[in-house]
Amino acid sequence: MLKARLRDASLNSPRQAQLQALASARTRRTLGQRLCLPGLVCLAVLALYVSRSGLSTWIPRVRCGKADHGTPEASDFSWDDISPSATLEYQPCFDGFQCARLFAPLNWNATAEEQASCPRVAIAIIKLPARVPVTDSRYGGPVVLNPGGPGESGVYQVLSDGKSLQALLDAPPSDDNGKHFDILSFDPRGVNNTTPRLQCFTDSSDQQSWLASLPDYGLLWHSESVTGLEWARAEALGASCAHGEGDRGILRHVNTAQTVQDMVQIIEKEGEWRAQAASKLVSRWQDPKTARDLMERLAYHPGKERIQYWGMSYGTLIGSTFAALHPDRVQRMVLDGVVDPADHYSGGWLTQLQDSDKILSKFSEYCYAAGPDRCPLYANSSAAEIEERLTTILLDLKVHPIPMAVTNKDGDHAGPTLVTYGDAHLLLLSAVYFPFASAASFFDALFALESKNTSSPALRRIATRKHARATRSMPVDGAIPYVSALGSFQAISCMDSGPLNLTRETFNEFLAELQGQSRWLGLSWARNKLACLGYGMEPAWKPPFSFRTQQWANTSHPLLIVGNTHDTVTPLRNARRVSTLFPGSVVLQQDSQGHCSHSAPAPCTLKVIRRYFQTGELPEQGDVCEPGFRPFLGCTAERGGRGQQCVFDDAEEQRLWDVAVALADPFGLR
């Protein structure tokens, strides 16, 4: 009777809400909303925009023109309309979400007296409410997300992927007793809607102009003059971010340890909010004992609230730091696409690319197995011949860019452009990050580039869209789009490692080591090492630990750590190493390519993650999940093929697959 009464209080039934979320999950989105890219700034400057033709280029992460994705519009909402407060005072925002701005000290390591005299940080928080009220026995509390970066927006992640992730983590419709979660995230310090903001650029147009002047990837480090230019650019960006900053500025307070303390503040205030929300609901009930029991179950426990967390990419660094500093506050923690903490905090940038080039080798294997009907670069002899062919195509563009005259969308002459190695390199990056979405289109583009037929539709689309992006104007940033992660990435990375005392000689040694790790990503990844040039300051507080020890902490609940067999920039070995720091943690291997588990639709992995959040159950150590789809080969579980949806007889399997596809296809290409 009580259970039925509690459930009736929900505005939407779980089944109805899940169907709505599934419909939303099928909405096409752009990669500007997918945020699982550590080193994104220096690999690709910011975010990847991919057209339906397979063209991609890295551009400032702002929305140009009318939205064409599933993210709610913000026409009637402004973060400035929310007054920051010391408690969570949520307001409706973005059609179905709740937003708040929470005060936090500028420096968590300062004394109370110092904190009182310093400016405060106002953290922008967004929540997709659970499909049941807090008084429902199935209410599971908030799952906190971080998308990566560093410097990416949690607000944007929840707006773009929150409903899909909620549909994944919530109990399936057949489970009447499973949990239903809030999905919550925030913009970290110095990022987007959290204030005070880093002022590295005045606006989006300023940043776009800066990015447009980057040397082509094909020129990177090929001469002392190029190295000098890159060095000076890094110094200029650091100086711009540090301009006007002092001891009381935000720059010295954006490092990961400060963000972790912000997360503690958030979960504490969420516990306080939970108890207050429950009190308002049960105050109308006639049964005192029932009300008393509920209030006891939902009571706020000051200083003891625990986190449920899913961190992706750099978000795993936040998670591992949180677990090290607050092991007794872990209720659930998934680390997905794991950053090596020791390497990150030392500014090493040497534990990311060990498996990157293996991804193209696997693509070639899949191409060879699929045959000429499914792969345009198929070669009769072997997969090795396919890989050699794509290598030849890419390297040829370094010395033979393709000159073209382009037309605009109306077919009128629009001027000259070049298709360069840089354009092809960016196509490569999109493919190795998100194989499900773009491996096939990458091979299609290579086939067109090989012919150098400037009248071919594929090549003309590449040239036309490149020219259009180079000449369009950018809008003023609003509540959803923002001056993106470029400055934030540099600042957070630098404040985590501190000054590196880099010289040209040590940089050249570093560059040689990176090239030995990855032929295709090493040159662009090397930009990360320059992040601290120009800052000339230390963080206000660094965490009092070293991740180079063999064991860190016994967490109150063991961690679930997920890694792909071949991850673009967070190799599986990182997951295994971090697992040694936290006794009881388990590594789940997903036998796929790409960055983070969602880069390949794998219902097996999603079931493990959902079960972990639902019950706390971990997989067996050594378990391996197979993906449901491989590039060129198509669906591996049921039936289907390239460009087709996999089909399942079981409705729940199909529902889970559709959610997996929504997460794996950030471009809306399929």
What secondary structure, in 3-state letters, does 454-505 show?
A: CCCHHHHHHHHHHHHHHHCCCCCCCCCCCCCCHHHHHHHHHHHHCCCCCCHH
**Residue 226, burial from CB neighbour count under 10 angstroms (0-12, 13-18, 19+):** middle
What mean pLDDT comes out for the span 195-220? 86
pLDDT confidence bin for 644, thresholds 50/70/90: low
Q: What is the 3-state secondary structure (H, E, C) of 40-64?
A: HHHHHCCEEEECCCCCEEEECCCCC
3-state helix, strand, coil in the chain (%, to 5): 45, 15, 40
Dihedral sign (CA 104, 105, 106, 109): negative
Higher pLDDT, 99 or 39: 99
Crossing angle for the helix pair 154-169 and 651-664, nearest 10 degrees? 160
Q: What's the pLDDT score for residue 413?
A: 84
What does the pLDDT read at residue 561? 99
Token pair belonging to 6: 């509690």
Average pLDDT, the chain: 84
Asked if residue 215 lies in contact with residue 398, where contact means CB atoms within 8 angstroms, the answer is no
Q: Encoding tokens for residue 161? A: 């992927």
Torsion angle, alpha carbons of 234, 237, 240, 243, to 10: -50
Q: Which residue has the tokens 């939902």?
A: 298
What's residue 553's pLDDT?
83
pLDDT for res 472: 58
Q: What is the CB-side half-sphere exposure of residue 576 using CA atoms within 13 A?
A: 11
The one-letter code for the residue type at 42 is: C
Query: How large is the average pLDDT for residues 510-519?
Result: 97
557: Cα within 13 Å, side-chain hemisphere = 18
pLDDT at 440: 94
The proportion of the chain whose per-residue pLDDT surpasses 90, expressed as a percent, equals: 62
Of residues 641 and 510, more confidence is placed in 510
Average pLDDT, integer, range 617-628: 97
Structure-model confidence comparison of residues 244 and 314, the more confident one: 314
What's the rounded mean pLDDT across residues 395-417? 88
Helix (H) or strand (E) holding 91: strand 91-93
- What's the confidence (pLDDT) of residue 75? 56
Structure-token match 């913000």, residue found: 74
Judged against a pLDDT cut of 50, whether residue 57 lies above it is answered with: no
Q: 3-class DSSP state for residue 571? A: coil
Checking if the pLDDT of 222 tops 60, the result is yes
Which of 178-187, 264-273, 416-425, 581-590 shows the lowest per-residue confidence on average (mean pLDDT)?
A: 416-425
Q: Is the dihedral of CA 596, 599, 603, 606 positive or negative?
A: positive
Residue 82's pLDDT is 97
Name 224's Cβ contacts closer than 8 Å, sequence gap at least 6.
none
pLDDT in tens, 349-393: 999 999 999 999 999 999 999 999 999 999 888 999 999 999 999
Residue 600 banded pLDDT, cuts 50, 70, 90: very high
Instruction: Assign 74 a pLDDT band (cuts: 50, 70, 90).
Output: low
**pLDDT per residue as tens digits for the range 2-25:** 333 333 333 333 333 333 333 333
| Mean pLDDT, range 261-266, rounded to an integer | 98
| pLDDT average, residue stretch 551-556 | 84
Q: For residue 287, what pLDDT band results from cuts at 50, 70 and 90?
A: confident
Instruction: Output the pLDDT for position 640.
Output: 44
> What is the CB neighbour count within 10 angstroms for residue 200?
24
Q: Do 664 and 598 meet the contact criterion of CB atoms below 8 Å apart?
A: yes
Helix (H) or strand (E) run with residue 395 in it = helix 383-399
Q: How far apart are the C-alpha atoms of 363 and 366, rounded to whole Å?
A: 5
644 vs 339 pLDDT, higher one: 339
pTM listed for this prediction: 0.89
Mean per-residue pLDDT, 121-125: 98
Question: Contact at 8 Å (CB) between 241 and 535?
Answer: yes
Mean pLDDT along residues 644-658 = 84
Rounded CA separation 588/586 (Å): 6
Please give the Cα distance from 263 to 597 (Å, whole number): 24
Q: Are 596 and 567 in contact (CB under 8 A)?
A: yes
Q: What integer pLDDT is reported at residue 19 of this predicted model?
A: 34
Residue 668: predicted pLDDT = 73
CB 622 within 8 A of CB 563: no
Instruction: State the pLDDT at residue 70.
Output: 46
What is the mean predicted confidence (pLDDT) over 179-186? 99
- What the block records as the tokens of 353 is 């690319």
Look at strands 624-625 and 139-146 and give their pairing: unpaired
Of the chain, the percentage scoring pLDDT greater than 70 comes to: 83
H or E element that contains 126: strand 120-128
> Given the structure tokens 């980057």, which residue do they identify?
214
Hey, how many other C-beta atoms are within 10 angstroms of the C-beta on 455? 8
Strands 402-407 and 413-419: antiparallel
The average pLDDT across 414-439 equals 93
User: Residue 46: pLDDT above 50?
Assistant: no
